[in-house]
Chain A
Amino acid sequence: MSNIIVETKGLRKVFEGRPAVDGLDLRVEAGSIFGFLGRNGAGKTTTIRLLLGFLRAGSGEARLFGEAVSGPVGGVDLRRRIGFVSESKHLYPYMTVRQIIRFTRPFFPGWRDDLERRYLEIFDLPPNRKISALSKGMRTGLMLLLAISHRAELLILDEPTDGLDPAVTEILLRELVALPASEGTTIFFSSHQLTEVDQIADHVAIIHLGRTVVSGALDDLKGQYQRLRVVFQHGPPPVSWLEGAEHVRQEGRTVSILASHNVEALVQQARSLPGVSVERHPVSLKEIFLEHVGNN
């Protein structure tokens, strides 16, 4: 058994001549919470639809649990192992909470009554209320219930906290962090809420124009990236020093650098110059994101 639950290699999908996903490489390990980030239109939802088999890839490959995702539906067995919470949270509006649960469970032999009860309770879902009359938080809770009660081994969520109030967001995140340890679930979720991803993810990928621009274990990325603030008391920095640095901003005698791979060399070099002071600051995921895909 492979330890890689989601894998794409050179995945590509073109809509009307414009590539939405353009050679995407991803690897999601079992038991991880993987944050999938990118600006609007970066290709996140298209990637998720490709993974779920709702769309067919132009080229490249996508594998779930080591099996190729092919055809519009994919294998039934494969589908049973996946739970999906969509961005639109669209469910049959005329059904009640109880009706949609009764409608869904016969498709899945391994239905978990305990999880069903748990989610009804924590998301405060009234069994007899129509879906059209549920709040957005309740609809999210209901989708999570339907996605997870059938023993999904992989849970895919597209912008799950979008539009939720902070209290429901907290409840949802608390449930998500519990799943890998209690059920062995792997979680793949896209989000714009960088603080939230920073909080619960252990691995992330930032995509831009359909390609991965940053990926890795979150702790490693944070160990790797640092913000250096270097003050040159005797005028501007020597040009030779700046050549090795990326993401540089200069204001008078102060130079701010978001450094990733050559941090220590930069610090040592700067310190060897007279009248130079160096401060190092940790970098949040938001800064890494903005530096790579922000407008500048």
Chain B
Amino acid sequence: MTFFRLNASSGVPLYLQLMEQVKHAVETGALGPGDQLPTIRALAQELVMNSNTVVRAYRELEHEGIVELRHGLGAFISHSVEERHKLMRKAQTVVQSTVERLRSLGATEEEIRRLFENELSAIHSERLVEKQ
């Protein structure tokens, strides 16, 4: 199992990178419902990362309903990811038509990417401010 690749100097916490990659593997179908993830120790050694970081990524993925942790058995891709699949397929058509519209207005790829990022970043800080 070597399709996870982390970049320690990117500044993005490694547990988030690992979570992102597990999600990506699920979205692309590389990992499906019921598939087993590597053990914490095996993955820590393979990726040369802290095992506490792997634990954190697996726990957060469990919290998000993507992974099921079965005591003594390991981590498995949850069966509820099917629902996410459906949502993602719907979302993809929305994004596709939005991107097409923006392109027809003359926006470049780079501009579109920035627009999305700015929008998400605004939502992110609003949410954090609400929490405070």
Does A219 make an interface contact (CB < 8 A)?
yes
Does A267 make an interface contact (CB < 8 A)?
yes
CB distance from A88 to the nearest CB of B (A): 25
- Please name all residues of chain A whose beta carbon is closer than 8 Å to the beta carbon of B41 when the two chains form the complex: 178, 181-182
Does A112 make an interface contact (CB < 8 A)?
no
Summed over the interface, the residue pairs from A and B with CB atoms below 8 Å come to a total of 87
Q: Are the CB atoms of B51 and A198 closer together than 8 Å? A: no
- Please name all residues of chain B whose beta carbon is closer than 8 Å to the beta carbon of A199 when the two chains form the complex: 6, 8, 14, 48-49
Q: Are the CB atoms of A264 and B12 closer together than 8 Å? A: no
Interface of B, secondary structure class, is: helix
Does B44 make an interface contact (CB < 8 A)?
yes
Q: Are the CB atoms of B117 and A279 closer together than 8 Å? A: yes
- Please name all residues of chain B whose beta carbon is closer than 8 Å to the beta carbon of A267 when the two chains form the complex: 121, 125
Interface of A, secondary structure class, is: helix
Does B129 make an interface contact (CB < 8 A)?
yes
Does B11 make an interface contact (CB < 8 A)?
yes
CB contact under 8 A between A201 and B50, given known A264-B129, A264-B132: yes
Known contacts A199-B8, A281-B11; can you find 14 more A-B pairs with CB under 8 A?
Answer: A33-B52, A174-B45, A174-B48, A181-B44, A194-B9, A198-B8, A199-B14, A219-B13, A219-B15, A268-B129, A271-B125, A282-B10, A282-B12, A283-B11
Give the top 5 A-B pairs by smallest Cβ distance, nearest first.
A282-B11, A199-B8, A284-B11, A198-B8, A181-B51
